[in-house]
Structure 1
C-alpha cells in the first residue's frame, strides 16, 4: 500500500494565480516573515509523518477486519474471507480498533500539521468517536432489512459484474471460501435476531414481509439457475478443461449442499419464527431507547448536531416553498386545474412515460451525452472513469429504489454504473430524467465518488471513507447546478427537478415523523401522496426504506443546504474573485467530508483568496 503524501490544494494554487505584482511581493514578504525555524519545520515534519503512518496502519487493520470492504477498495489480499460483522469476537475487535486509534491520534499535536492534514485529522477523530458512539446501540440484533441485505450484496458480488474478481482459478477458489464464510453468517444472523427478539429489538412486520420473497427468489430447483452459480457460466476460455470440471463440481456441491439449505433455513426462520415476533410500530421510537437511538442516527447521517425537531421544521418550510414553485410551473404551462390535478396528469397521461424498458435506458444514454457537453464549463477536475447505464437486476427490482449508483473499480477496470429501475415504467416519468441523471451520475454521485477514489496525496481512509450528508448533499446540489447549465429550460424538466427536490424535503418531515413523532407507515405514505406526483409504488418503497434505515434520508437536504450556504458565503465575501470551478475543486478534492470539516475547509479557502 502506497504512502500518502499531501500536495498543495488546487484552490490555493488557483488563488495565487490571480495575484498582481504588488500582491505577489506582499505574499513573498509575508511568507518570508512567517518562515518556520528549522526546529519548527522538523517538528511539523515529524508530526505529519507520525499521523500519516498512524492512519495508514489504521486502514490496513480496518481492511483485515472488513475483508469485503477491502475487495471494494481494490485490495485483493482478503478475497477469500467473508468476515462476519456479528460475532462477539468481531464486535470486540472493532471496539478495540477504534479505541486504540483514537487514543493514538490524540497524542499527535494537531497544530503541527499542514492545513490539509488538520482537516484529515479532524475527520479521523470524528469517525472514531461516531463509531464508538454507534457501538452503544444494538444494531447487530437487526442484521438485515429489505433495503440493505447481505444476501443481495453477495449475489451482486457473485455476478461477475461487481468488485469480486473472477479472472483466475485462484479467484474462483477465493469466492468459494468467501461463500463458506457467508454460509456461517447466515447461521449467526438467526442467533442475533433471536437475541433481538428477547430484547424487543426487531424489525417492523411489513419489512419482514418484504424480506421473505427476496429470500424465496434465491431458492431455485435447479442449481444452475441460482444467481450464485453465475461465475461458472462466466468461466474464462483460458481455463483448462480439468479446472473447469473441478470448479463446476465444487460450486455445484457448495451451492446445492450448503448454501441453498442455509438460505432456505433463513427464509423459513423469517416466515415461521421472526415474523410472529416482529413489531407493530413503524418507527424507531417503538424500540427500547428508540428516540435517543434515532437522534444519534440522525446526527451521524447528517454529520451535524441538529435536534430532530429542527430538522422536521426545515422540512416543513422546504415543502411549502417547493409547492409554491411547482404551482408556478402549472401556471406557466397553462394547465387548467389545481396543483393536485396537475400532479395527477403528470403521473398518469401516456405521453409522459416510455412504453418499453429499453427505451427508458436509451433515453438516459442520450441525456448522458447532452450533460457531458456542459460539464467542462463548471469543473476543473473531472473523473477519469466513465459510467454506464443499466437496468436494476430482475431479482431485486421490485423493492429497489428508482435509481442508484455503483462506484467504478478503483483500478479503472470497471466503469461506474447508473442503475435505473425499469420494473414500473409509470414510476419513471420522462419529466424526471434530467434531474435523476444529474443526481445519480454526472456531476452527482459519479463525480464525487469517482474523483474521491482517484485522488492521490490523501490518506487511504479519506479516499474510501464516506459521509451520507456530503455525498447525497453533493448529488442534490448537482441537480441545482442543472439550472445554471440550462438543462431545465423545459418547464416540465424543471418540474422534475422540483419533484425530486420535494422528495428530499418530504424526507425531512417523514423520516423524523416516523421515528420521533409516532407517525404510522400509512400517515407517511399519505403525506407524500398529498405533496408530490410520485407513483404510489415509489412512495411505498420510499417510506419502507426510511423505516429500515432511519436518518439516512435526512442527509440529502441537510447536505445540499450546507453546500449552497457555503457557496453563497464565498460569493458574498469574494465578490468578483469568486470562481465557481475553484469552489467545486474545494468541495471535491479532499474526499467525503463531515459538514463541520467541509465548512472549515471552505472558510480557509475564502481567507486564502482574500
Structure 2
C-alpha cells in the first residue's frame, strides 16, 4: 500500500551520497528485478496495481508453484546478503533492512502453511469477479484479456481446491462457523444464465469505438466461457465445500488449532505490530486501554445527561432510531457529505496533500452481509484509478450515524487515502516500499487520523465524540479479543460478549468483526499498537519543541518515508527532533 522511493535527505539533514552511486544503482536493479518477478507471480495483484501485462491470467496456485516461490524467496535473501550493507548510502541501508525484514518474515511464515487456506468468508475465488471492477475496459484487447481469464478459470479453481485439500490433510483449516458462510457466497455465482453472472458485467457495455459486430462476438464468447468454464467450476467448489471441507473444519475457534499454531500466532503478532511484544503483553495492554477509554466514555455520557448504567446507554444507542438511516441511499448520501466537511480543514494539519482523489462507493451487495462496515482500495499505480472508500449499505438501520465521522476520517482523509496516496507520490523509493508497507503503521495512522477530528473541530456533537471513542474502544477491544481467541483459547461467544459489553457497536458488526479476527489472526493487533506509537511520538515532539512544535511538520515527518516499521518511525522522528 505504500510507495517507496529513495530518500534524498534523511530527517536530520544527513548527506546520503557518501559512496559512489553505482552501489545504490546495483541495489536498485536488484529491487527492480524482484519487483518484476513478484508481479509476474501474482497477476491479480499486478492488475490491481494497474499493471496490464498480466491481465489475461490468474496466479498459479499449484503446490509446485507455491513451493517454487518459497525457494525463490530464500534465494533472494541470500542474494541480498551479497551486497555490503555498510557501504550503501543511508537511504539504501534502510531499503536493504526493510526488504530483508519483509522476506525473512515471508520465509518464516511459510513453514506454518497459511497458503493452504486460500479463501475465507471475506473473499477468495468465490469473489474473483470483483477484480473486473478495478480494471479498465477500453479496447478489444481488454475484453479478450478478461475472456482469457474466464477460459483459464477451471485450472485456477482446481489449484485452489488442491490447496484446500492440502489444508484438510494437514489440519491447516479455519473454523466451521466462518466457513459455513462461504457456500451461500458461491450460490451467488450459480446463476441461471451466463448473462446474469457477475463475470459478465464488463460485456454489458462497450466503448463506442468498438463496432457492434465485435461487441456481439465478445458477448457470445463470454457467454460460452461462463457456461462451460465458470459455472462448472463453481459447482465443483460448492460440492467440495459442503461434502469435504466443512465437515473437516474446526468446531472450535483460534489459530492455535493448526500445527504449531501457538508459535505461528506469536510470529503473526510480531509481524503485524512490528514489535517484540508477546501475545500476553498485548492482552494486558488491551485491558488497560479498555479501562482508560471507558473513563472517557463515562465523561461523555454525563455530558449528554443520560441517567442509567453504561450497558443501558449502549442499548439506547443501539435502539434509538434517531441514530440510524432507514435506506441505503440516505446512508450513502451522508457518507459522501462527510468528505465535504473534512476536506477543507486538512491544510491546517498537512503541508502536503495527495494529488490523487478518492471516491466513495458501496461495498458490492453480494459481499456486504459478510464483511465489515467499510474498507479502502488504494489507487492504481500510475494514476489510472483513484482511491476508493467502500462503505457497507447492507441493513442501514444497523449502522449508527455517530460512527460515520470517525470511520470516514480513518478510511479516507486524513486516514488511509491521504497516507497511501502520499506514499505512492513519494520520490525515488523502490516499488516494494511504494506499494507495500506495514500494517502497524498503515492502520495505526488510520486510527490516529480518527483522533484528528478533534483538531479539525468535527466532534462538536457529543454523540460524534462518543462515536470516536467507540472506534478507539473497538481497537482496544481487538487487543483483548484477538489474543483471547488465538492465545488464551477463548470461545467465539466469549469474544462477542466482551466486545458488546465494551463498545456501542451493533451486534451484526461485532459478529462480523470477531469472525474477521478468526480468519486474520494477529492483524487486528496492529491498529492500537501503531496509533499509540504515533501519539507517543507526537507528545514527545510537543514536549521537546514547546511553542516551536508545528503539527504540519510533525505529520510530514511521520508520513515522509511511507509506511515503515514502528522502530524506524521512532528513529525518523528522533532524528528530526535532534535536527531541530
TM-score range, shorter chain: over 0.9
Q: Which runs of structure 2 are paired with 1:276-287 in the superposition (5 Å)? A: 276-287=247-258
Q: Distance in 1 between matches of 2:6 and 2:224?
A: 50
- Identify the residue that residue 126 of structure 1 maps to in structure 2: 101
SS at match of 1:411: helix
Pair 603,12 (structure 1): closer, same or farther in 2 beyond 3 Å = closer
Q: Distance in 2 between matches of 1:443 and 1:297?
A: 28
Q: Is 1:530 aligned to residue 506 of structure 2?
A: no
- Identify the residue that residue 115 of structure 1 maps to in structure 2: 90
CA RMSD of aligned residues (A): 1.9
Q: TM-score, normalised by structure 1?
A: 0.91
Conserved? CA contact 1:169–1:239, under 8 Å: yes
2:182 to 184, 187, 211: 211
1:96 to 71, 74, 86: 71
Q: Distance in 2 between matches of 1:599 and 1:90?
A: 39
SS at match of 1:147: coil
Q: Is 1:374 aligned to residue 349 of structure 2?
A: no
**Rg: which structure is higher?**
1
- Identify the residue that residue 8 of structure 2 maps to in structure 1: 8
- Identify the residue that residue 142 of structure 1 maps to in structure 2: 117
Pair 7,553 (structure 1): closer, same or farther in 2 beyond 3 Å = closer
Q: Distance in 1 between matches of 2:154 and 2:421?
A: 32
Pair 295,208 (structure 1): closer, same or farther in 2 beyond 3 Å = same
Range with greater deviation from structure 2 (119-128 or 433-442): 119-128
Q: Distance in 2 between matches of 1:122 and 1:604?
A: 18
Q: Is 1:223 aligned to residue 194 of structure 2?
A: yes
Range with greater deviation from structure 2 (414-423 or 439-448): 414-423
Q: Distance in 1 between matches of 2:577 and 2:82?
A: 30
Tell me how far 1:97 sits from its aligned partner: 2.8
Deviations 1:439-478 (A, max 9, x none): 0110101111111122231111111112211111000000
Q: Is 1:566 aligned to residue 537 of structure 2?
A: yes
- Identify the residue that residue 434 of structure 1 maps to in structure 2: 405
- Identify the residue that residue 73 of structure 1 maps to in structure 2: 49
Conserved? CA contact 2:50–2:384, under 8 Å: no
Q: Is 1:156 aligned to residue 130 of structure 2?
A: yes
Range with greater deviation from structure 2 (254-263 or 171-180): 171-180
Deviations 1:99-139 (A, max 9, x none): 23222222323333333322222211111111111111111
- Identify the residue that residue 305 of structure 2 maps to in structure 1: 334
Q: TM-score, normalised by structure 2?
A: 0.96
Q: Distance in 1 between matches of 2:245 and 2:411?
A: 35
Q: Is 1:188 aligned to residue 159 of structure 2?
A: yes
Higher relative contact order at CA 8 Å, sep ≥6: structure 1 or structure 2? 2
- Identify the residue that residue 599 of structure 1 maps to in structure 2: 570
Q: Is 1:469 aligned to residue 440 of structure 2?
A: yes
- Identify the residue that residue 139 of structure 2 maps to in structure 1: 168
- Identify the residue that residue 392 of structure 2 maps to in structure 1: 421
- Identify the residue that residue 49 of structure 1 maps to in structure 2: 25
Deviations 1:366-386 (A, max 9, x none): 211111111000001211111
Tell me how far 1:344 sits from its aligned partner: 0.7
- Unpaired runs of at least 5, structure 1: 14-30
- Unpaired runs of at least 5, structure 2: none
Conserved? CA contact 2:121–2:182, under 8 Å: yes
Tell me how far 1:262 sits from its aligned partner: 0.6
Range with greater deviation from structure 2 (182-191 or 272-281): 182-191
Deviations 1:288-330 (A, max 9, x none): 2111111111211122221000000111111111111111111
Conserved? CA contact 1:312–1:512, under 8 Å: yes
Q: Distance in 2 between matches of 1:505 and 1:181?
A: 44
Conserved? CA contact 2:306–2:313, under 8 Å: yes
Conserved? CA contact 2:5–2:431, under 8 Å: no
